[in-house]
Amino acid sequence: MFFGIVVYFVISMQGLAILKNLYNKQYDRDIYFVVISCIILQVLANIKAEKVRNVKYIVITQKETYKTLFEPVKRGKYYFIRITDKNEVEKKRVQIAEERIEKIEYIIEKVEEHE
């Protein structure tokens, strides 16, 4: 909002100078510089750093271990596990009864900041 006020003020001053016949075209470059600078500063101010987590889920049952990139979903007495390949394309879904699951591990691999 601050940069909007600055741009409005600069353009208003330009309009007043034109109305009073005090305006000189050599000021155009300065006015365009201020307006473009405010636009660039506003864009940079709106960019926020964001933290991204890579989480792997490991579901350990009495007989097998399942590794997946998607969180197991619980529906009723069953957990549904999405098994994917290297390209993150779903290959199969496994339905496991809740009492067969011994442990679910959440492994956070890395935290990155993106701008």
Encoding tokens for residue 23? Answer: 């305006």
For range 101-113, the mean pLDDT: 79
pTM confidence score? 0.50
The contacts of residue 111 (CB under 8 Å, 6+ apart) are 51, 52, 53
Contacts made by residues 92-96, CB under 8 angstroms, sequence distance 24+ = 94/66, 96/59, 96/61
Contacts of 77 (CB under 8 A, 6+ apart): 97, 98, 99
User: Is the pLDDT score of 114 beyond 60?
Assistant: no
CA distance 76 to 65: 21
Sign of CA dihedral 21, 27, 28, 30: negative
> Mean of the pLDDT values across residues 15-31?
77
| pLDDT tens string 49-88 | 666 678 888 999 888 898 888 889 989 899 999 988 878 7
**Domains of the chain by residue range:** 1-51, 53-108
* Predicted confidence (pLDDT) at residue 47 exceeds the cutoff of 80: no
Alpha helices in the chain (DSSP H): 2-19, 28-46
Structure confidence at residue 111 (pLDDT): 65
